[in-house]
């Protein structure tokens, strides 16, 4: 099975008839089917994180203007204000020692398709920009690395054969750095 088709399928570069033919062909190749499912699941995780990081747009219709002064509003606010004042003046909770717990690390899988590469590495703020080798997932050109990372925002790039540096094509957030290259921005947690 040609692995280029997997990449084109995931990147939505195939026509509808090509997608149908692709799905029929991987049905008979369990290893290829599992690899495609694994990459699609990773794509779903990335898409969900990007969607969660975007601000929501409120398209609700405008409500009619309310009068500036309303007796009912003031009458309802007086008991609430009295209760809050009572809580602020009279309530003193027992001191409870606070313990800080570190956030649990989250496993993140990096995947890149680079069939003409002999060595792929990732370097980023999570590794103090020291390269971490990726492992080939077979002879089909995919490289992967799974890291346990603390929640936070990280910048990183992928090094191919220690010659060229590139941003991760599966991550939509990117920024230019001071060295003329582009880094990917990954938000964990």
pLDDT tens digits, 129-149: 999 999 998 788 899 999 999
Tell me the percentage of the chain whose pLDDT exceeds 90. Answer: 31
Beta-ladder partners of 111: 144
- Encoded tokens for 114: 């680079």
Q: Are 160 and 146 in contact (CB under 8 A)?
A: no
From 140, 125, 120, 113, select the one nearest 2 (Cα to Cα): 140
pTM above 0.85, yes or no: no
Q: For the chain, give the number of residues.
A: 189
Query: How high is the pLDDT of residue 2?
Result: 59
Domains, the chain, with CATH or none:
3-53 (no CATH), 106-188 (2.60.40.10)
What is the tens place of the pLDDT at every residue in 39-75? 777 777 766 665 555 555 555 555 555 555 566 666 7
From 108, 128, 107, 132, select the one nearest 120 (Cα to Cα): 132
Q: In the predicted model, what is the mean pLDDT of residues 30-47?
A: 72
Beta-ladder partners of 39: none
Distance CA 112, CA 170 (A): 8
Q: Are 155 and 128 in contact (CB under 8 A)?
A: no
Q: Are 145 and 186 in contact (CB under 8 A)?
A: no
Average pLDDT of the chain to the nearest whole number: 79
More confident residue, 7 or 58: 7
Give all strands of the β-sheet with 106-113 in edge-to-edge order: 106-113, 142-149, 135-136
More confident residue, 46 or 174: 174
Query: How high is the pLDDT of residue 158?
Result: 94
């Amino acid at each position: 099975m040609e692995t280029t088709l997997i990449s084109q399928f995931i990147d939505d570069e195939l026509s509808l008839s090509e997608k149908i033919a692709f799905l029929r062909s991987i049905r008979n190749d369990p290893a290829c089917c599992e690899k495609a499912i694994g990459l699609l699941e990773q794509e779903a995780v990335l898409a969900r994180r990007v969607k969660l990081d975007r601000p929501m747009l409120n398209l609700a219709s405008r409500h009619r203007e309310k009068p500036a002064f309303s007796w009912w509003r003031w009458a309802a606010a007086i008991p609430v204000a009295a209760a809050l004042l009572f809580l602020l003046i009279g309530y003193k909770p027992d001191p409870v020692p606070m313990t800080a717990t570190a956030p649990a690390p989250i496993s993140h899988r990096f995947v890149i398709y680079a069939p003409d590469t002999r060595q792929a590495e990732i370097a980023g703020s999570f590794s103090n920009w020291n390269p971490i080798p990726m492992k080939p997932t077979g002879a089909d050109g995919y490289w992967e690395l799974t890291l346990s990372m603390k929640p936070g925002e990280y910048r990183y790039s992928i090094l191919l054969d220690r010659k060229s540096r590139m941003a991760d094509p599966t991550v939509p957030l990117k920024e230019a750095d001071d060295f003329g290259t582009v880094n990917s921005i990954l938000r964990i947690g």
